[in-house]
Structure 1
Amino acid sequence: MPGACITNGERVTLRTVEEEDVPFVQRALANREIRHPMGNPVMNRRQLADHLEEDGADRFLVCLEDEWERDGTDANAETAATGDDGRDVTRIGQVNVTDADYKRPELGYWLVPTVHGEGYGTESVSLAIDYAFRTYDAPAVGAEAYDFNDASRGLLESLGFTEEGRRRKYMFVDGAHRDMVQYGLLREEWREGKPESERGRA
């Protein structure tokens, strides 16, 4: 079951990833539409559980609460999960904050394909940025996206991230060597881009 609600936006909540969530995460990451844009290897549940336990990242499920009506078209989304607070939630993705204990926090994120283009990604990553700046004394957060992943790059740029560099032919993904584009967002840039009533939160 999804764990504690860490933060919530208008439509999504971020909840801790628990052991019971590993099957959902494993199935989603095995989906070609998610795996290829991220460049992730295929992992079985045991490998994924070991990876999640060992890497020290802050990992959160992106969830829709019980009032959301799912159309039933996505086998990767899961309904009828109950959070530790007793609310029914639907898992639709994950956001991560990694490396925060020894360098600038790096964000990672994915959503199940049937909710792409609905604005959930922007809201989820925005919540993760707020979380990173409230939790860690870091002057900036970073993120990466493959050069061919226009949706992910557009999401980052819409939130104020600036392209900072490019690692050329960084990984072999989907039959070709791909460039990785590096992005950064300064704390003051994030604060200045928020409504005045919310500026003290980051």
Structure 2
Amino acid sequence: MPGARVSQGERVTLRTVEEEDRAFIQRGSANPEIRIPIGNPVRSRSELGDVAQKEDGNQLLVCLDEAAAGPGAPAEDETTPVGWVGVDDVSYRRPDLAYWLVPEVHGEGYGREMLSLTIEYTFRTYDHPAVGAIVYEFNDASRGVLESLGFEEEGRIRRDRFIDGEYVDTVQYGLLREEWWE
């Protein structure tokens, strides 16, 4: 069950991840429609570790809240988790964003709103000049949403990862703080 509200947009709410959310995160990250585009191996619930804690960043659930959902932990029928977002490496370099949404909500604009809220949260919480994200070359939807938010392609590692039977390029994106606030 998602925890306290961290940030809220028009349709999407970012909430803290609680231990009870382990099953949702494991189901989502094991789904081939999510796992293959983000390049993650299948992990069991126990391999996920303590989903509520992250040593060097934050994990947030992406939720669709009902009007009655308050800022604290909502009742089960007041929110629906539809994705996950991570903010990694905050203590020693610029934060990297990682994210996914369940396939049932792809193409509905939730990704753009989720990332906008995450970028705002990250720049308000951490004193870094930029945020980054890594995307695989074939993930046009993810690349499109990053570019629509002002991210610039900063580099490419050719044939970096073996995903779904072939080597693919990794594309690094970045967004400077001043570019975001403009």
The match for 1:177 is: 167
The answer for unaligned runs of 5 or more in structure 1 is 68-82, 193-202
Question: Percent of pairs identical after alignment?
Answer: 61
Cα distance in structure 2, aligned partners of 1:51 and 1:169: 30
TM-score using structure 1 length: 0.84
The match for 1:23 is: 23
Deviations 1:137-189 (A, max 9, x none): 11110011000000000000000000000011111000001100000000010
Give the SS at the match of 1:134. helix
The match for 1:115 is: 105
Tell me if 1:139 matches 2:129: yes
Q: How does 1:76-95 map onto structure 2 within 5 Å?
A: 84-86=73-75, 88-95=78-85
Tell me if 1:163 matches 2:153: yes
Runs of 4 or more consecutive aligned structure 1 residues displaced over 6 Å after TM superposition: none
Deviations 1:80-107 (A, max 9, x none): xxx6144710000011110011100111
TM-score using structure 2 length: 0.93
Q: Shift in Å at residue 52 of structure 1?
A: 6.4
The match for 1:130 is: 120
The match for 1:78 is: none
Q: How does 1:14-93 map onto structure 2 within 5 Å?
A: 14-50=14-50, 53=53, 55-66=55-66, 84-86=73-75, 88-93=78-83
Q: Are the aligned partners of 1:19 and 1:49 in contact in 2 as well (CA < 8 Å)? A: no
Give the aligned residue type for 1:145: V
Cα distance in structure 2, aligned partners of 1:14 and 1:85: 12
Q: Are the aligned partners of 2:85 and 2:98 in contact in 1 as well (CA < 8 Å)? A: yes
